[in-house]
Amino acid sequence: MPSNQRFLARRRNLLALSLLVLLPGCATTGKECTVPEPPPDKAGEIVIYRPPQRIGRLVDYAIELNDCMVGRLSNGSTLSQKVTAGAVKIHLPIPALATGGAEDIRVGVGVGETVYVRFSHLTPTAPIFTVVDKATAEKEIAALPTKPQ
């Protein structure tokens, strides 16, 4: 095989290998959708916030509520969503290449209640959701560099 053909074959193989390695990290499990506005007599709210951290600071994470992607959470930001009262699954699909998994938490939301959930990292590959009380959340949210969404 001539030198030029070997070069092109290697380049093609390298491209194929790169796609196999990188594409699994681009997938998300949920679908982007609009969560229906709950009736006022059955509504609650979830506020998810992410205090500034050095770990993962350049990554915006997709946030899913009950398998519906409702937005992205960047470092130092918040995301709030009105939901129908009851059990809500908060899910963070994570690129497979980075961690091989996902983080999720189930919270109960009462009528007229606001549930605050902090998103943080223990390590670069171990994000965690934590339900926090209103006083702590309001203090931490007030210190965020970006305004609530």
Does 122 fall in a domain? yes
Phi and psi at residue 46, in whole multiples of 5°? -120, 130
Q: Does 76 have pLDDT greater than 60? A: yes
Please give the tally of structural domains in the chain. 1
Q: Which pTM does this prediction carry?
A: 0.72
Q: Looking at residue 18, what is its pLDDT? A: 43
Does 8 fall in a domain? no
Q: Does 27 have pLDDT greater than 90? A: no
Does 55 fall in a domain? yes
| Each residue's pLDDT tens digit, 79-108 | 999 999 999 999 887 654 355 556 788 999
The whole domain housing 91 covers 29-142
Exposure string over 114-137, b if 16+ CB within 10 A, otherwise e:
ebbbbbebeeeeebebeebeeeeb
CATH (domain of 73)? 2.60.40.2890
Does 23 fall in a domain? no
Q: Does 54 have pLDDT greater than 90? A: no
Q: Looking at residue 12, what is its pLDDT? A: 59
When mean pLDDT is compared across 53-57, 60-64, 71-75, 113-117, the lowest value belongs to: 53-57
Residue 50: other Cβ atoms inside 10 A: 26
Distance of alpha carbon 76 from alpha carbon 125, whole angstroms: 18
